[in-house]
Amino acid sequence: MARWQPGARERLVLAAVDLFAEHGYDATTVTQIAERAGVTKSTFFRHFPDKRELLVAGQETLCRLLVEGIAEAPVTATPLEAVATGLERASSAMGPMNRELGPRLKAAIAASTELQERDTLKHVGLATAMTEALVSRDVPATVAHLAAELGVLAFKRGYTEWTNLDHDDTGLAPHVLAALADLRTATAALT
């Protein structure tokens, strides 16, 4: 087993998702994940505290990109325009591996209550990060929270659409922004 090959973190995520889909979350061990990824068990624990955390690999980066995008939106941007800027920045950082992983990850999450709970916490974390970024732009807390929740919903819808495509020439961002535009239109029908 080569100990120092690059990309160990990504290989661990891919191995875990495949094993979760093949054998179920509960039946998959850290040792199996490490072996499938071609790393040692100690390498696994250098990257993740436990197998549950594999699901949120990259969440910190995603939150950071969302917050940076919101902060960089023009001063005149509405809350949803600022969210769109954050979503575009974060979505642009996602590539083919993220797209390929989507359906397998969805299947693994659907098969495990524990992973469903962790996935929900991930989305709460994204909403919290966007809410705080909007509040720091002097957006009232209730409006910031609503805009952030719409942003999370748009991200989820756009990601699902993107990963279900047979072929992709555009990347994730256009799908997420289209989902946000659809949600903005839908909110107009609420009043």
Convert 143-178 into a string of H (helix), E (strand) and C (coil).
Answer: HHHHHHHHHHHHHHHHHHHHHHCCCCCCCCHHHHHH
- State what percent of residues in the chain have pLDDT above 90: 57
For residues 140 and 131, what is the distance between their CA atoms, to the nearest angstrom?
10
User: Is residue 3 domain-resident?
Assistant: no
Indicate whether 143 and 167 sit together in one domain: yes
The yes-or-no verdict on residue 5 having pLDDT over 70 is no
User: Is residue 1 domain-resident?
Assistant: no
Residue 68 structure tokens: 């940076």
User: Is residue 63 domain-resident?
Assistant: yes
The residue written with tokens 């962790």 in the block is: 118
Indicate whether 115 and 155 sit together in one domain: yes
Where residue 1 falls among pLDDT bands split at 50, 70, 90? very low
pLDDT at 6: 67
pLDDT at 4: 52
Q: What is the pLDDT of residues 141-185, one digit of tens each?
A: 999 999 999 999 999 999 999 998 888 778 999 999 999 999 999
Question: Mean per-residue pLDDT for 15-30?
Answer: 89
Indicate whether 49 and 139 sit together in one domain: no
Indicate whether 119 and 176 sit together in one domain: yes
User: Is residue 132 domain-resident?
Assistant: yes
Indicate whether 34 and 66 sit together in one domain: no
Indicate whether 62 and 28 sit together in one domain: no
Indicate whether 41 and 84 sit together in one domain: no
Number of domains present in the structure of the chain: 2
Question: Mean per-residue pLDDT for 70-81?
Answer: 97
The yes-or-no verdict on residue 2 having pLDDT over 70 is no
User: Is residue 184 domain-resident?
Assistant: yes
Q: Which domain holds residue 37?
A: 8-54
User: Is residue 179 domain-resident?
Assistant: yes
CATH of the domain at 35: 1.10.10.60
pLDDT at 112: 83
Is there a contact between 46 and 30 (Cβ–Cβ < 8 Å)? no
Torsion of CA 116, 36, 10, 154, to 10 degrees: -30
Burial of 138 (0-12, 13-18, 19+ CB in 10 A): exposed
Indicate whether 162 and 99 sit together in one domain: yes
